Amino acid sequence: MTHFIAAYHTDAGIRKRVNQDSLLLKAISNHKEEIVLAVLCDGMGGIAKGELASATTILAFSDWFEQTYRKRAGAWKPKEIKEQWQSLFQQVNQALVRYGQRNGMHLGTTATAFLISSKGEYLIGHIGDTRAYLLNHKLIQLTEDHTFIAREQKRGTMTREQAEADSRRNVLLQCVGINDFLEPQYAGGRLLKGESVLQCSDGFRHKVTEKELHEKLRISTSEEEIRRHLYELTEQNKKRMETDNISAIQVKLV
């Protein structure tokens, strides 16, 4: 990539035998600009079920990028892209719900998709508690957590300190594949040169502070450095006994 440096790291963690996180990082170029698509999904539902849900969602985004977006020469039309993503989310959700019903199981996944052009324009499509952050002189959360504790904090019935100690912090209010209700969050904006977006599963952020994330990742100046810093933060999470799968992607506009 000419206008971006990007890398990812994923780890099953210290307890789970299967990594149910799935990631996608792809780029295309046309005569005008370069476009990057990064997607991170955190599956849930048991050994192979969560892996199936996250991988199915990743495949759908990969197919969209290759078969729909690329064929239209990577035209930056946010309204049209949002409509296509909404249809994608609904189709994957219905497919996973039907699969679960046929097989007597529950399976689902979070999903955070990030599309960015070399001009800095970006679009986010998001469901669940994977996150996207803007990284510049500080760390800014761009996505909302679709969780019980996030809802209670928003209502003012729970403090941040109470939320961090609450055993229900992983209770999702919505994700892809569990039921018919689906209301993704969409957000857009513009990155400046030198700024990054970090996408991560909740396992990547539970045992490290936002200050630690910012101090480590803001100094990355190459793909190798991004990969090394993501690895170091993953190992820090594991040393602090994070039991979930741990995954992150960082894309920096240069």
For 182-202, letters b (16+ CB in 10 Å) and e give bebbeeeeebeeebbbbbbbb
Domain that holds residue 81: 4-253
CA distances from 179 to 56, 149, 231 (A): 16, 20, 35
Cα distance between residue 49 and residue 44, in whole Å? 7
Q: How many CB atoms lie within 10 A of CB 221?
A: 11
Cα distance between residue 230 and residue 10, in whole Å? 9
Domain count across the chain: 1
Global pTM value? 0.94
Cα distance between residue 65 and residue 28, in whole Å? 9
Any residues with CB less than 8 A from the CB of 144 and at least 6 apart, and which?
126, 150, 185
Q: Is 70 helix (H, G, I), strand (E, B) or coil?
A: helix
Cα distance between residue 245 and residue 41, in whole Å? 11
Q: What is the DSSP letter of 74?
A: T
Q: Is 173 helix (H, G, I), strand (E, B) or coil?
A: coil
Q: Is 217 helix (H, G, I), strand (E, B) or coil?
A: helix
Query: Mean pLDDT per 10-residue run, the chain (254 residues)?
Result: 95 94 94 92 82 97 95 83 98 96 93 97 97 97 90 78 72 91 96 97 95 96 97 98 97 98
Q: Is 177 helix (H, G, I), strand (E, B) or coil?
A: coil
Q: Assign residue 27 the CATH number of its domain.
A: 3.60.40.10
Tokens of 229: 């810093």
For Cα atoms 83, 50, 5, give the angle at the middle one, nearest 5 degrees: 60
Cα distance between residue 82 and residue 25, in whole Å? 19
In the chain, count of helices (H) and strands (E)?
6, 11
Q: What is the DSSP letter of 184?
A: -
Kind plus residue range of the DSSP H or E element containing 226 = helix 223-239
**What was the pLDDT predicted at 158?**
79
